[in-house]
Amino acid sequence: MMNYVEQLNNLGSRPYLFSYRRCPYAMRARMALVDSKIEFDVYEISLRNKPNEMLNISAKGTVPILRLNKLVLDESLDIMKWAYKNSKYKHSDLLEPGDKKIADELVALNDGKFKNSLDSYKYFERYPEKSKVEHRKSCYFFLEILEKRLEITSFLISNTRTFSDICIFPFIRQFMNVDKEWFDNSEYKRVKKWLALLIESDLFKMAMIKPTFS
Ligand SMILES: N[C@@H](CCC(=O)N[C@@H](CS)C(=O)NCC(=O)O)C(=O)O
């Protein structure tokens, strides 16, 4: 088997993803690539010891990063959009679902205010000015929005999975895992069902397959 540098030197037209398996941003990028049936190689990095090959192409040092010949994409949303645009399959409805404005607003809320609240809940011990329960409460606003959306359709924008479901899902999964027992007993029954569907999907399972080398 080729080592990592040999693999990089042997790059043809096959995209290469610097990734971290448990990172929600990397998860959604891998899901979009898998969903688009784009073949790609994964380099699983250690966040504590980032490889120079990665820092050389994007100094900000976050994963995911997609490298394809001279193209470097270092934002998960850009990678996802690139994947769906370059898919051999018709994915335009995934990128431009019925209500694009709502879809964009949901993703922006997720990546902004919700992600901040989620971090304070997840790392509540670092923010002792509030209790764990109070930190969790600061996340409810987003779960309530999702629960309302899911009253109308089985996924966030339509009755099929679209871009925003994939963008948001890894973060709600993270929220669930902070206190799974609490989440399982919570009142967000539609969110729980939606999350379970995505967790059990072949798409998620494929995106979580352990890379063969790192
Ligand atoms: N806006 C970026 C955020 C990516 C991000 O923050 N990834 C985290 C891992 S989940 C990271 O690489 N952090 C750098 C570090 O921990 O050193 C994106 O959407 O790709």
Buried b (16+ CB within 10 A) or exposed e, 125-159: eeeeeeebeebbebbeebbebbbebbeebebbbbe
Domain assignment present for residue 207? The answer is: no
Q: State yes or no: pLDDT of 182 exceeds 50.
A: yes
Ligand 1 centre to CA of 21 (Å) is 12
Q: State yes or no: pLDDT of 189 exceeds 80.
A: yes
pLDDT digits (tens, 9 = 90+) for 60-103: 999 999 999 889 999 999 999 999 998 877 665 666 667 889 99
Q: What is the mean pLDDT of residues 6-35?
A: 85
120 and 29 fall within a common domain: no
Confidence category of residue 211, pLDDT binned at 50, 70, 90: confident
Domain assignment present for residue 134? The answer is: yes
Ligand 1 centre to CA of 159 (Å) is 30
CATH code at 155?
1.20.1050.10
CA of 61, closest atom in ligand 1: 14
Q: Which of 58, 75, 90 represents a domain boundary (last residue)?
A: 90
Q: How many domains does the chain have?
A: 2
Residues in contact with ligand 1 by the CB-under-6-Å rule are: 20, 23, 25, 47, 61-64, 75-77
Among 6-10, 155-159, 185-189, whose mean pLDDT is lowest?
Answer: 6-10
pLDDT digits (tens, 9 = 90+) for 104-128: 999 999 999 999 999 999 999 999 9
Q: State yes or no: pLDDT of 24 exceeds 90.
A: yes
Looking at residue 23, its pLDDT comes to 98
Q: Which of 90, 117, 140 represents a domain boundary (last residue)?
A: 90
CATH code at 56?
3.40.30.10
102 and 154 fall within a common domain: yes
Chain-centre distance for alpha carbon 94 = 15
